[in-house]
Structure 1
């Protein structure tokens, strides 16, 4: 217990300072509008009343996020590894990757809603696309930066290509790939929020949007806090998995 407190003492201290600052600005000195920034104690009291809606929204959001993100990881790492290893292919497709990845994904929302049969599939596509470009770019760069001596040694030992892929190429590229995956996960969460504000009937962002339309900012604040807590938990789980995969690196 003492070790946990020591490891997370900085995080806990910053969190307490932010909370105290908010209380001082709202409940104590009244600097912030209580309409837009309700008392944190009032917000916490609302949790039992809205827990059912929040959990239903969480279930819906996690389905969209999980499906799209897993598809993005698989497709982007597969394609990125292939492009990174094949210089000819890389030279031909790189201009198109630059061009298409420069298009802001939120601008494609109206097209996705009209082209796909359901809102759910449109949302999955948009979230997938947001994550795909980031992971694809970092994977290509990671594979390209692998030391040639590793591959030359493997060729000298006549290592089969599939074994070389899983025992040399992907492990060597994994630190950079996982950095891209981490960034993509955050972007996926942001794109999830955008997607749920267009025609959704459930979800964490939908919850916030719905109650903001009625100017119930205490409930909106509850939705913000719940969403933030979920994001922190997901990122913590991701970082734990990443550290286990990269246990051989100097910072792990």
Structure 2
């Protein structure tokens, strides 16, 4: 009963958006039919191109998993170190702010020429975009921890490693995980850019390929499929986050 109550608003909004789209396309014909196809065309195309969509999913996940996990490990590791060391933070922050301000997509030509394969270059583009967000959120989260926690740890003579995993990271985890969620959404945006070169399969490639041929019905199928995948991944991520942050007010 609680699940239905919690999801009622989401369901009503979905029905409203779907109904509005049907009115604008099939009933009043307000939207351009070349760009915005009838919703009735989508299910048959899903069935027809399901194999190609799934091949694209596995191809995209092979890029996303490596890039995101690397960004997660390095971003949280370096962020925790920099955030907890005032002198290091003061010296590195200007450089972090400067380099993170450069749009990752502008580095695509350099990545293609510097790395040995298009696949590695694609992983690097996604990794870098996620890394700056996770690094920045971790530094901010660690440096804003209530210093009384650290003072109590020093009084109890807790070793540095135990202090990191038992005090610093748990206290900073709400803000860190918020940054990780934002980075995950950005990874899907960068996926479309990363799959524009040197690949023949992928969710972003599927959309770009059929867009070039003017098949906007299949472009819509690609958008919907990518949105469904992202929702499933974010839902799984929220479950993990809820377990980690079980002590917070929203859990």
> Quick check: TM above 0.5?
yes
SS of the equivalent of 1:146 reads coil
Q: Distance in 1 between matches of 2:99 and 2:11?
A: 42
Distance (whole Å) between structure 2 residues aligned to residue 84 and residue 217 of structure 1: 47
| Alpha-carbon distance in structure 2 between the residues aligned to 1:224 and 1:157 | 54
Q: 2:134 corresponds to which residue?
A: 135
Residue 3 of structure 1 deviates from its aligned partner by 2.9
Consecutive unaligned residues in structure 1, runs of 5 or more = none
Are 2:159 and 1:160 equivalent residues in the alignment?
Answer: yes
Q: CA RMSD in A?
A: 0.9
Superposed, 1:67-86 pairs within 5 Å as 67-86=66-85
- What SS does structure 2 have at the residue aligned with 1:200? coil
Deviations 1:140-173 (A, max 9, x none): 1111011111111111111121111111000000
TM-score by length of 2: 0.98
Match of 1:37 in 2: 36
Residues 182-228 of structure 1, C-alpha deviation per residue, up to 9 Å, x if partnerless? 11111111111111122321100100111111111111111111011
TM-score (norm 1): 0.98
Who is 2:122 aligned against? 123
Measured against aligned partners, the alpha-carbon deviations of 1:220-251 in whole angstroms (never above 9, x if no partner) come to 11111101111111111111111110000111
Instruction: Name the counterpart of 2:93.
Output: 94
Matches within 5 A, 1:56-67: 56-67=55-66
Q: Secondary structure at the match of 1:8?
A: helix
Alignment partners' CA distance in 2, 1:66 and 1:165: 26
Q: Which residue of 2 aligns with 1:196?
A: 195
- Which residue does 1:227 correspond to in 2? 226
Count of aligned residue pairs for this structure pair: 251
Post-superposition Cα deviations, 1:32-54, rounded to whole Å, max 9, x if no partner, equal: 11111011111211111100000
Aligned to 1:111: 110
Q: Which runs of 5+ in 2 are unaligned?
A: none
Equivalent residue, structure 1, for 2:147: 148
